[in-house]
Amino acid sequence: MRRLDGVAAALAPLFWVALFAVTLAGCSVTVADPEYTPPPPLPALEQLKQAPLTDPAGFAAGEDALAFVTADRNVVCALTSARGPHLNLPYETNNFSDRDNQKLATVPVAHCELAAYPAPAARDVGDDCSGTGLGYLGGAAFLTPSRARYGECRAGVTQMEAEYGPKGTANGPVSKLRVLPDGGNLERNGLRCSAYRSGVACGNVSGGVGFFISRDHYELISAKGKNLQTAPAKAQKTP
Q: How far apart are CA 71 and CA 195, in angstroms?
A: 9
- Which whole-number Å values give the CA distances from 186 to 50, 164, 199, in the listed order? 12, 23, 14
Of 214, 211, 215, 208, nearest in space to 190 by CA: 208
Q: How far apart are CA 81 and CA 147, in angstroms?
A: 14
Domain boundaries, the chain: 44-229
- Which whole-number Å values give the CA distances from 149 to 51, 67, 120, 203, in the listed order? 23, 19, 10, 11
Q: How far apart are CA 230 and CA 117, in angstroms?
A: 12
Beta-carbon contacts of residue 198 (< 8 Å; ≥ 6 apart): 72, 74, 214, 215
Residue 62: per-residue pLDDT: 80
Q: How confident is the model at residue 189 (pLDDT cuts 50, 70, 90)?
A: very high
Residue 238: per-residue pLDDT: 45
Q: Is the pLDDT of residue 237 over 60?
A: no
Q: Is the pLDDT of residue 131 over 90?
A: no
**Do the beta carbons of residue 153 and residue 106 sit within 8 Å?**
no
Helices (H), the chain: 2-25, 44-50, 159-164
Residue 54: per-residue pLDDT: 98
Q: Is the pLDDT of residue 225 over 60?
A: no
- Bridge pairing between strands 86-87 and 75-83: antiparallel
- Bridge pairing between strands 191-196 and 199-204: antiparallel
Residue 13: per-residue pLDDT: 54
**Do the beta carbons of residue 118 and residue 90 sit within 8 Å?**
no
DSSP state of 206: T
Q: Is the pLDDT of residue 184 over 70?
A: yes
Q: What is the pLDDT of residues 52-89, one digit of tens each?
A: 999 999 999 987 899 999 999 999 999 999 999 999 99
Residue 204 or residue 228, greater confidence: 204
Residue 26: per-residue pLDDT: 54
Lowest mean pLDDT among 170-179, 194-203, 217-226: 217-226
Q: Is the pLDDT of residue 19 over 60?
A: no
Q: How far apart are CA 213 and CA 202, in angstroms?
A: 9
Lowest mean pLDDT among 58-67, 123-132, 189-198, 220-229: 220-229
Q: Is the pLDDT of residue 178 over 50?
A: yes
Residue 4: per-residue pLDDT: 47
Q: What is the pLDDT of residues 194-212, one digit of tens each?
A: 999 999 999 999 999 999 9
Say how far residue 53 (Cα) sits from the centre of its chain. Answer: 14
pLDDT (average), residues 151-175:
93
- Beta-bridge mates of residue 107: 82
**Do the beta carbons of residue 79 and residue 110 sit within 8 Å?**
yes
Q: What is the pLDDT of residues 26-40, one digit of tens each?
A: 556 667 777 777 788
Average pLDDT over the chain, rounded to an integer: 85
Residue 14: per-residue pLDDT: 52
